[in-house]
Structure 1
Amino acid sequence: MEWPGVLLVKFLPATASDYDEVMSISGGIHDGVDYLPFRYHEWLAEPQRRMFVARSEEKVVAFASFLLVDGGVTAVLQGLRVAPWMRGRGIAREIQKFCFNTLRTNHPGVTKIRETVEENVPPSLLSKSRLLHSKAVVSVFLPNDHLEKTTQLLSCRLLSVYQGRPPVPQSLSKVLRLLDDPRTAEDLFPKGVLIQDLLPLTTHKCNIELLARWGIAWVYSKPSDLLTNPIEGANSSSISNLSEHSTLSCTSSGFLSLSTPPFPVPLEKGVYRLNIDLFGSNPSFAQAHILHHVTEAVRVLPPGGSIVCFVFAEETLRKPVMHYLHGMAPFPAYRELLMLERTLEA
């Protein structure tokens, strides 16, 4: 399809051979921790995804994709980017229109469009979308030469306020059983939505199965896993400081988290991104789950690797998470992720 703007623009399915050109227009996106360089070829192999490029004068000038979720009734927009020299000329709007027209023609069962966006959303986007949910974002940089000290520090901070069973990895069948319990599902996902690795989903069974095919690590803590007695002899000031943000109650709700293995990002050679998604409201469980995922990431990290760690959590957990990660180098990025949804008009 062509768009007869100031320059002739053609919209085409993206291919493996477009990779270098797509990367060439992606410099600086997501503060140097862009996921697309690592995910591009994986996305091409996903049967539920479609990827497109816009070409003008034989050059790639834009990229966009959508993923079919919720059993085929929703399309999630991901990866949108426009070449620097084409920004401000309406190309982003036009490639999205092309995606919508493709959905109407090839996937008539799709009725909703969903996406995640960072803070400071343009009013024009908010005016045509519904805000489904938002997550607080805390990001830190963990350099290779501090990884061992970091995990030791996080372990000490956790032990000063929490004595309980460690989080337990869950199989797909166990996760589905958890979500079959309406009370548990409501506690973990109050609006029936989840954001995994920037992907906005509902708790629909097919979405959970999709995540399982991607090798997502699910980790769960039962309410009874949380005990109330700090370790004897722990530093009293540490207990006082962290207890301010911790509710130690065996009657609390359970806690679920997930992450993918750390993946390389363009920021610098040897830098990997780790996304940790937290579901629940208990600060002590949040700390235990962060430690679990960071420890696992360090275990599988290639030699010499450093980590940019993003933690996505409910807003009520922002201060406890920041306090738990205090002293680690903040990574300058967005502080909030919004989940938007709109109707795909026929």
Structure 2
Amino acid sequence: MDEDLLSRMTVREATHDDYQAVMTMASPDTFRDGFDYLPAKFHGFVDDPDTVFLLVELDGEVVFLDVHFLRDGGESWVAKTMRMAKKMQGRRFSRTFIAAMRVRHLAKFLEMSGRHPKVVHVLRDTERQDLKRLDNAYDLPFKTKSVINVMYFCWDATPRKDRLTDAQMCLPALVPYRPADIHRLLPPAFSATVLSGGLLLVDWDPYKLSEPNMKKLVEAGCYILVDSNVPAAKSLSFGGSYMTPRGRVYHIDIHCKDEALCKAHIITHVKNACSQYTGMITFCVVVTEKKLKDVVMTFCVQYLHFKHLPHDHTYHHYKLKTDDVDMGQPIPKAKY
């Protein structure tokens, strides 16, 4: 590493007072095509006891951020996002910044859970060639767990609510998740057949299917739907909303293989969004079942008359066992 650069760097945890400096650096108006979650979730990241939110200052100016989530009692961590100041991009500084943070991350994980995580979860945009080059450079043994299809649609909730009831009449019934439903989700008929590697995706973030994680998601305010099939459920979805620089986003994360159930989850979440919000809403619909991508597109555009936005992405969810890599070297993350 450049010794002069290191002497000018400070690595520290983010605080609430860093909000404006981080927003100035992080380019929320362009990140994720302007649908950036960071303005809405910044303060929650700072307060969350399971989140490590680090900043790099160079000569006193915030130039880099790195966010990690600790999961499952310290068993795994999720590499959420990193951002770099525009003036630093393209100058090969990211490795230096990440390496400088690595010791701080591992020490923080040990402080939080008493152990080092065994598994790292990372999402990769398939179009990000720069991240593929980083993976090749570090020769990290990532294993692909699932392919994630993300589609964006917008809709004016105010004048069109009545259309939803008629559309829902011929679809399977869903119910809000209750704690007792966990017993219909844990059997292999659901957890192994419907989920990819037993993992849930909620607002882009992977979670292991478990009773504590479901409780945490309920407490976080997720609107969770499940079908009424017994002894094992056949579908599960998560919804929630936040404001972005381009307006309100409502995420709909669907875990199922059945077309009718997929449609039922979409329309029930849309009704929930319309019961809470007015005006234009952008729906971010996420499915891991490849055949459902066309189903979602046709249903939303042709049946519900949503406007499809040109911001769709495909992501790979990778898993890395920490025993298979020298944790002294940095693990590059997707900017997702």
Using the size of structure 2 for normalisation, the TM-score is 0.83
For the Cα contact (< 8 Å) 1:103–1:110, is it kept in 2?
A: no
Distance 1:312 1:176, change over 3 A: same
For the Cα contact (< 8 Å) 1:223–1:253, is it kept in 2?
A: yes
3-state SS of the aligned residue for 2:312?
Answer: coil
**1:74-114 deviation digits (Å, cap 9, x = unpaired):** 11111311111111223333343344322433424212221
For the Cα contact (< 8 Å) 1:157–1:324, is it kept in 2?
A: no
Q: Distance in 1 between matches of 2:4 and 2:282?
A: 42
Name the structure 1 match of 2:159. Answer: 148
Q: Distance in 2 between matches of 1:202 and 1:4?
A: 43
Q: Distance in 2 between matches of 1:273 and 1:93?
A: 32
For the Cα contact (< 8 Å) 1:179–1:185, is it kept in 2?
A: yes
Q: Distance in 2 between matches of 1:253 and 1:208?
A: 15
Report the alpha carbon displacement of residue 11 of structure 1 after superposing the two structures with TM: 1.4
Report the alpha carbon displacement of residue 297 of structure 1 after superposing the two structures with TM: 0.8
Query: Residue type of the partner of 2:222?
Result: I
Distance 1:255 1:343, change over 3 A: closer
For the Cα contact (< 8 Å) 1:257–1:278, is it kept in 2?
A: yes
3-state SS of the aligned residue for 1:148?
Answer: coil
Distance 1:75 1:11, change over 3 A: same
Q: Distance in 2 between matches of 1:142 and 1:117?
A: 28
Q: Distance in 1 between matches of 2:163 and 2:96?
A: 49
Q: Distance in 2 between matches of 1:7 and 1:330?
A: 49
Distance 1:285 1:48, change over 3 A: same
Report the alpha carbon displacement of residue 168 of structure 1 after superposing the two structures with TM: 0.3
Q: Distance in 2 between matches of 1:19 and 1:138?
A: 29
For the Cα contact (< 8 Å) 1:187–1:253, is it kept in 2?
A: no
**1:269-320 deviation digits (Å, cap 9, x = unpaired):** xx2011000011111111111111111111111x5x3211111012110011
3-state SS of the aligned residue for 2:91?
Answer: coil
Structure 2 counterpart of 1:310, from 249, 269, 284? 284
Q: Distance in 2 between matches of 1:300 and 1:319?
A: 28
Q: Distance in 2 between matches of 1:222 and 1:315?
A: 24
Structure 2 counterpart of 1:31, from 30, 33, 38? 33
Unaligned stretches of 5+ residues in structure 1: 225-251
For the Cα contact (< 8 Å) 2:54–2:67, is it kept in 1?
A: yes
Structure 1 counterpart of 2:236, from 256, 276, 285? 256
Name the structure 2 match of 1:66. Answer: 68
Structure 2 counterpart of 1:216, from 196, 218, 222? 222
Matched, 1:335 2:313: yes
For the Cα contact (< 8 Å) 2:143–2:319, is it kept in 1?
A: yes
Structure 2 counterpart of 1:290, from 260, 263, 266? 266
For the Cα contact (< 8 Å) 1:116–1:200, is it kept in 2?
A: no
For the Cα contact (< 8 Å) 1:114–1:342, is it kept in 2?
A: yes
Name the structure 1 match of 2:120. Answer: 113
Name the structure 2 match of 1:21. Answer: 21
Pairwise CA RMSD of aligned residues?
2.5
For the Cα contact (< 8 Å) 2:177–2:226, is it kept in 1?
A: yes
Using the size of structure 1 for normalisation, the TM-score is 0.80
For the Cα contact (< 8 Å) 2:175–2:228, is it kept in 1?
A: no
Structure 2 counterpart of 1:319, from 294, 298, 301? 294
76-85 or 119-128, which moves further after superposition? 119-128
3-state SS of the aligned residue for 2:159?
Answer: helix
